[in-house]
Amino acid sequence: MPSSNSALSDVTVKCVCLRDVQHQARAQRLIQHAVSSDRLPHAYIFHGPDGVGKEMFAHAVAKLLLCESPNLSDEANKDSCGTCQSCVLINAGNHPDLHLVYRQLAANHPDSAVRSRKALDLGVDVIRHFVIDAVGLRPTVGPVKVFVIREADKITPQAQNALLKTLEEPPETTFLILLASAAERLLATTRSRCQMVGFASLPVEFVARKLIELVEGLDDTTAQLLAVLSQGSLGRAVLYAQDGFADVFGEVAQMLVGLDQNSASTHSKRIVDIAKESADRYKKRDKNLSDSAARRVALGDILGAMATWYGNHLHAASGRSNPLAALKQGVNQEMAARSIDAISDAEFRLSQNAHAPLCIDGLMFELASV
């Protein structure tokens, strides 16, 4: 249940080829089939959890489209060469025909009024200048242009409506890939004009193994814990490792083990304090995040960890292994399920801008009563 965090995009993106993206077999099959049949749609929506390789895969598709000497002989594994000038430019992050579009580009907009606003979403000014107007220009180096739009589920309705004609009738030289953690937040008219490609959570063992490679000094036990807490998101797991989230989880788990009506209020205040500390880190990563948005992300992480802890009781009750901290005695399957429902309700209330301290206070008393 962790909340979306825009910083995840920056964690996992590397310049790779299609063959290097692992555990996304369905996406691989769809792209390979489209390339083989020479019927590659000009607009895609890659949707699924953050931090599982959507943007990495989008870069790999762009690399194939822009490659000067693509490997097209293998029917099932068509890919970029990785060595031509275009591939080298993409590897260096400066190919002029690969356009990465994201909220923070508002700071580079020619209109000072746009530059002065916090980029909380992808507004029509950014979409018009960096996508719609740019689509009409000829490619600079290669035969096509590719636009990869991060956090597409944060494109405002006005901006989506402005983008519809471009999605429906883009120039033959243009491909657009929209990345969304929650495709249902996009307008139906936007979704209908794009080929939908779903991405799944990564296997926990894979995430744990990659964490060991990516984060210096991380031990196996902590890597396994963070892989479970991230729910199969490598990007989120890396951020958790950087932020010491394993210690946060340990503290929260101890609260839940000893939770009763007498301690609920004290634990509630501590959770709000922990969230504030995490929110400060999130705001350092994303200067455009408001205080309330950063706090919602931080509380989402903590509530997700709490739900995972209760989910561990469901694992234990079904005879599966215990991947997390010690269980609380006397919590059966029904109690664990009710607790998870209570946490989900609290997450929804927070998403509707409920007062955070009151929401967490009410949740802790409800969990204590369960």
In this prediction, residue 322 carries a pLDDT of 57
| This prediction's pTM | 0.86
CB atoms within 10 A of CB 52: 27
Q: Which helix H or strand E contains 301, and what residues bound it? A: helix 291-317
CB atoms within 10 A of CB 206: 14
In this prediction, residue 225 carries a pLDDT of 92
Confidence of residue 2 (pLDDT cuts 50, 70, 90): very low
Average pLDDT, whole number, for the chain?
88
The structural domains of the chain, ordered by start, are 8-198 (3.40.50.300), 244-369 (no CATH)
Structure tokens at 148: 């990869």
Beta strands (DSSP E) in 150-298 are 174-180, 195-198
In this prediction, residue 263 carries a pLDDT of 94
Confidence of residue 3 (pLDDT cuts 50, 70, 90): very low
Most distant pair of Cα atoms in the chain: their distance? 69
Nearest-angstrom CA–CA distance, 152 and 180: 5
In this prediction, residue 44 carries a pLDDT of 96
- Please state which of the ranges 23-32, 112-121, 300-309, 329-338 shows the lowest mean pLDDT: 329-338
Q: Are 360 and 339 in contact (CB under 8 A)?
A: no
Confidence of residue 328 (pLDDT cuts 50, 70, 90): low
In this prediction, residue 162 carries a pLDDT of 96
In this prediction, residue 10 carries a pLDDT of 45
Q: Give per-residue pLDDT as tens, 123-163.
A: 999 999 999 999 989 999 888 999 999 999 999 999 999 99
Q: Are 151 and 102 in contact (CB under 8 A)?
A: yes
Structural Rg of the chain based on CA atoms = 22
Q: Give per-residue pLDDT as tens, 202-227.
A: 999 999 999 999 999 899 999 999 99
- Higher-pLDDT residue of 177 and 2 is 177
- The most confident of the ranges 80-84, 142-146, 263-267 is 263-267
Confidence of residue 82 (pLDDT cuts 50, 70, 90): confident
User: Coil, helix or strand for 35?
Assistant: helix
| DSSP per position, 324-344 | SSPPPTT--HHHHHHHHHHHH
Structure tokens at 197: 């490609």
Q: Give per-residue pLDDT as tens, 346-365.
A: 999 998 888 999 999 999 99
In this prediction, residue 119 carries a pLDDT of 84
Q: Give per-residue pLDDT as tens, 272-327.
A: 999 999 999 988 888 888 888 889 899 999 999 999 988 887 776 555 555 565 55
Q: What percent of the chain has pLDDT over 90?
A: 64
First to last CA, the chain: 20
In this prediction, residue 12 carries a pLDDT of 44
Nearest-angstrom CA–CA distance, 100 and 77: 25
Residue 17: is its pLDDT beyond 90?
no
Confidence of residue 195 (pLDDT cuts 50, 70, 90): very high
Question: 4 vs 204, 293, 298, 300, CA distance in Å?
Answer: 19, 11, 10, 9
Q: Which helix H or strand E contains 45, and what residues bound it? A: strand 43-47
